[in-house]
Structure 1
Amino acid sequence: MSDRQDASNLTELINTMEQMAREKTKVSVDDIVRAVGSRSFGPLLLMAWLITLAPIIGDMPGMPTLMAALVLLTSVQLLMGREAFWLPKWLLNRSLSRTKFDKALHYIKKPAKWVDSLLGVRLAWMTGYIGIRVTAVMCLLIALAMPPMEFIPFSANGAGLALSLFGLGLVARDGIMLSLGFLLTGVTFTVVLINVL
């Protein structure tokens, strides 16, 4: 997997994904990972959010579980100290139509600039070595919980939004966003437990 320069905000990430593999009628996970880079945890989390939260894609059967596998694998490898993330071929080869992918990006692109305007370097100590590892643990827990979330309305969207806050926080070095991600994770897990028990 080749790497490009990492996106520094949500708008840049969306633009990068829009420009990739224009000649293809289908977009694979491998195409997306190549576009956003396989070395940075933040952009990969944002990618998982874009796919999970977008109504056109995230509601497709199996998609939350697929993104959970991606988050799980990258989280574990980050905790192991790997510099580049390895993903299995069965995950990289999964694909969806270019039309659905473009529609999803168009849907998310509208509020992206507004989201970017909320970002800033705040509580940057939370995005340091320890903060990134704590965030990876939370993402790992979310990934493990996402498969049953497919059967609980809107819970996968809550998990996807939490991943987005973690991704945005890491990319922009914004500890406030990470804090909101921790809070939303707690709320989402509470909702899931209420529905399961």
Structure 2
Amino acid sequence: MPRPLQNLEELLDRIGELARDNDQVSIGMVVESIGSRSFGPLLMLIGITLFSPLSGVPGMSVFMASFVLLIATQMLIGRKQFWLPHYILNRSIERGKLQKALNWLNKPARDIDRVLKPRLTFLVHNKGGSYGIAALCVVVGLCMPFMELVPFSASAAGLALLTLGLSLVVHDGLLVLLALVVFGTTFTFVFVNIL
């Protein structure tokens, strides 16, 4: 079983190792390297994908929405290890595109990791906190298909998911509150632009 991640840089390093060793990197390979029991790192993976230049791939937000819903629902029903279908696990990206996205994210990841620390841990530690985060992820996942209609809104949802994942990894409840603000703002922006 992989060692639990401690921060965002470690997640990027693990994905970077896969990119160095393989021409194509599948989601299954990434999930195996970070651990299929870890809700936080999986959320971080989805958030990074949506926040990076990869979010410009048509249909990416709808695909990632199905990933979010599947994982968050399993967390809500209490599964210890997440099941993911082959159509998600087999999706892959070419090494060059992945490496470009990782290079783009490296400096912000270092800066973010410097300011993270355990605080307001009741929002992430107890069952109520983690179920609340999972429920919020279900809402984000349900809204994401509509974000295809408004440019850059999927990237903002990705930022919210990345923040929620980080909150679970580093036990920083302040990040949960920040994610609520980001998602609330994004939802309002999408709602106003669709109407």
TM-score interval, smaller chain: over 0.9
Structure 2 gaps, min length 5: none
Q: Is the 8 Å Cα contact of residues 166 and 181 (structure 1) preserved in structure 2?
A: yes
Stretch moving more, 37-46 or 61-70: 61-70
Deviating runs (4+, > 3 A) in structure 1?
none
Three-state SS of the structure 1 residue aligned to 2:21 is coil
Q: Is the 8 Å Cα contact of residues 19 and 99 (structure 2) preserved in structure 1?
A: no
Give how far 1:23 is off: 3.4
Give CA deviations for 1:159-187 in whole Å, capped at 9, x if unaligned. 00000110111111000011101111111
1:113 maps to amino acid: R
Residue 132 of structure 1, aligned match among 118, 130, 139:
130
Q: Is the 8 Å Cα contact of residues 21 and 31 (structure 1) preserved in structure 2?
A: no
Give the match for residue 15 of structure 1: 13
CA distance in 2, matches of 1:189, 1:122: 26
2:107 maps to amino acid: K
Identity of aligned residues (%): 42
CA distance in 2, matches of 1:9, 1:132: 18
Give CA deviations for 1:87-141 in whole Å, capped at 9, x if unaligned. 0011111111111011101100111111001111100011121111001111111
Give how far 1:21 is off: 5.6
Q: TM-score, normalising length from structure 2?
A: 0.96
Give the match for residue 59 of structure 1: 56
The number of equivalent residue pairs is: 194
Give the match for residue 161 of structure 2: 163
Q: TM-score, normalising length from structure 1?
A: 0.95
Give the match for residue 115 of structure 1: 112
CA distance in 1, matches of 2:140, 2:178: 15
CA distance in 2, matches of 1:78, 1:130: 12
Asked if 1:37 is matched to 2:31, the reply is no
Map 1:142-157 to 2 at 5 A.
142-157=140-155
